[in-house]
Amino acid sequence: MNLDLRRTETTPRIAARAGRVMRIAGLHLALPLAVAAIAFSTTSQAQAKEPGVRVSKGAFEAKITYCEDCHGISAQGFRGYYAIPRLAGQQPQYLRNQLRAFVEHNRPNPIMSNVAHVLRPAMIAAITRYLHRLNPRPYGGGPKRLVAAGRRIFQNGVPQANVAACAACHGPRATGHGEIPRLAGQLYWYVVRELTNWPKERGQNPALPDTSIIMKPVAHSLNRSQIKAVAAYVSYLR
């Protein structure tokens, strides 16, 4: 089966997404990083046949139905009342780490903790590889007047605040690698919210430290206007 990722969204689908997003916002949850399968294409079918990777079509389709209402067609993200992150093009290892962080309560999000807890390794492997191959046009959405300032911070850092260049870890085009996430094309308000609330959303289980600790001093050292500038810049990258 090959689902058409270009299909338009129906009114019931939009309504379902709005209801779920409002429920998430009402709970004041951390923005969900996603795991959800966006389509069971011929690519994902081939992945499922790889040695050691077995994914049920039915289970995969169930994840599609549940998750694309929030993360959008082609994993572009959702930029409505409550921004939900883009997963398209994201690094598989980073996604796997974040799913583990939800399970271990390093990222306090009851919805994503429950989702991640029931996913088998085979499903996670197939989904994360598939998401990594997606590259839809980014929504953008950041104020364009902030892009130039954001580019300077991303490429050069903020020396007076002892903040290194974002590009040093995330790469010159913000595509990330391994455990370092892709930022290119990420929704503006999602990046703003994550950097602003970093100490409350990441590294919440001291007994199980993870790589999010690297970003804690960076997020702490950036002021609100600098965070918005960086978020605006990466929101337009592809």
Assess whether pLDDT exceeds 80 at residue 117.
Answer: yes
Q: Quote the pLDDT of residue 82.
A: 85
- pLDDT, residue 63, reads 77
Of 51-65, 142-156, 218-232, the least confident:
51-65
Q: Retrieve residue 129's tokens.
A: 């590889």
pLDDT of 52? 54
* Architecture field, domain 144-235: Orthogonal Bundle (1.10)
What are the tens digits of pLDDT across the range 124-150?
A: 988 898 889 889 999 888 999 999 999
The average pLDDT across 176-181 equals 96
Among the ranges given (84-88, 223-227, 229-233), the one the predictor scored with the smallest mean pLDDT: 84-88
Asked if residues 50 and 64 have their Cβ atoms less than 8 Å apart, the reply is no
CA 40 to the chain's CA centroid: 19
The Cβ of residue 196 has, within 10 Å, a number of other Cβ atoms equal to 16
- Fill in the amino acid letter for 59: A
Of the chain, the percentage scoring pLDDT greater than 70 comes to: 77
φ/ψ of 4, rounded to 5, equals -85, 110
φ, ψ of residue 25 to 5 degrees: the values are: -60, -40
The average confidence (pLDDT) of the chain is 79
pLDDT of 216 higher than 60: yes
Please report the pLDDT score of residue 7 as a whole number: 37
222: confidence class by pLDDT, cuts 50, 70, 90: very high
Q: Looking at the chain, which residues constitute the CATH 1.10.760.10 domain(s)?
A: 11-133, 144-235
Q: Which of 46-55, 99-108, 179-188 has the lowest mean pLDDT?
A: 46-55
pLDDT at 202 over 50: yes
Average pLDDT over residues 162-182: 96
The rounded distance, in Å, linking the Cα atoms of 195 and 93 is: 21
Q: Is 84 helix (H, G, I), strand (E, B) or coil?
A: strand
Quick: pLDDT tens for 61-74: 777 677 777 888 88
- Is 162 in a helix, a strand, or coil? coil
Chain length of the chain: 238
Superfamily of domain 11-133: Cytochrome c-like domain (1.10.760.10)
191, 218 in Cβ contact below 8 A? no
Residue 5's pLDDT is 36
Q: Which residue has the higher pLDDT, 62 or 96?
A: 96
- What span, in angstroms and rounded, lies between the C-alpha atoms of 194 and 124? 23
Best CA proximity match to 68, nearest among 39, 97, 90, 96: 39
CA separation for the pair 102, 108 (Å, rounded): 7
